[in-house]
Amino acid sequence: MDAIVVGIDVSMDRLDVHVLPSGEAFFVANDASGVEMLASRLAGLGPNVVALEATGGFEMLAASTLSAAGLPVVVVNPAQVRSFADALGRRAKTDTIDAAVIARFAVASGVKAKPLADEQTRLFAELITRRRQIGAMIVAEEARLKRAANRQLKKSISRLLVALRREMETLDDDLDSQVRTSPLWRIKENLLSSVPGIGKGIARTLIAELPELGSLSAKQIASLAGLAPFTRQSGKWRGKSFISGGRASVRAALFMGALVASRHNPTLKAFRDKLVAKGKPKIVAIIATARKLLTILNAIIRDQKPWQNA
């Protein structure tokens, strides 16, 4: 008997559904009642996999509700689905086509459902994301303050900066409370923060957004973070190595960690300086340092041993 696989294309307002091998297609509203209706309908089908494409958070209601209903949910990487669609020649942008492609991708890739993060873990990740958003707002307002010439405008910007910094402090207190409630998170944070260049912010980003840390090989974890180099085989960049994909927020955090570590961590500073001395561009050296930093952090969590100076 053929496995039953469901592909769901998620948008803000609706969920487009495609079922294989029957080819059945339908949609429901992306709200509580629509998702409950979907859960009931899919439960009657007994699917082997229900695949949703990650869409910036719009998929969370459906993913959590369907998973709670006992359905085998997996959230798939949109970049991988798009590459699969390109390979099929299915590049037309319609919701029904996308839902069908997601279902076919799930079949071809053999993705397996796994338990979703619990409510506490999701809240922790959302607080980390919100902290990053507030940080970006602060940077933007500070830049505006430097350019502002009008006194009233400066006062307005300054008031907003005070409010944003106060909100940042509140978020940090909330995150501290979250970490204190989890012995596992406390241990991970202490282990990660033992590495010069890794502060609480980066450590918590990795805890929330790279839970696979310590359980994968160096190559696999670098790929997840988007720090695994690949070589172009065509065009004017033929033979050049690049990084792309992966989890952008994790990569950004590791890049910042590498910048700090290349100044204050003797091991990583020597590594970065050696690359620069060999003629590598500084940005290439920092990316390589970020990748080495990630390898070190992966080993630290795997072995449960803090950083030790060489």
Rg (C-alpha) for the chain, rounded Å, is 22
Give residue-wise pLDDT tens across range 279-305: 999 998 999 999 999 999 999 999 999
Task: Tally the C-alpha atoms within 13 A of residue 228's C-alpha that lie toward its C-beta.
Answer: 12
pLDDT below 50 — which residues of the chain?
Answer: 92-96, 230-243
* pLDDT number for residue 91: 52
Secondary structure letter of residue 116 according to DSSP: P
Is omega for the bond preceding 21 within 30 degrees of 0, making it cis?
Answer: yes
Global pTM value: 0.61
Cα separation values, 68 from 45, 62, 84, 295, Å: 16, 10, 29, 35
Residues 6 or more apart in contact with residue 199 via CB below 8 angstroms: 193, 260
Residues 6 or more apart in contact with residue 86 via CB below 8 angstroms: none
Q: Long-range pairs for 305-308 at CB < 8 Å and ≥24 separation?
A: 305/191, 306/190, 306/191, 306/194, 307/194, 307/195, 307/196
* pLDDT number for residue 228: 72
Whole-number Å distance between alpha carbons of 262 and 270:
8
Whole-number Å distance between alpha carbons of 225 and 250:
6
* pLDDT number for residue 257: 93
- Amino acid 70 reads G
* pLDDT number for residue 199: 92
Whole-number Å distance between alpha carbons of 120 and 207:
12
* pLDDT number for residue 204: 92
* pLDDT number for residue 97: 56
* pLDDT number for residue 94: 46
* pLDDT number for residue 86: 75
Whole-number Å distance between alpha carbons of 127 and 122:
9
Tokens of 87: 């390979």
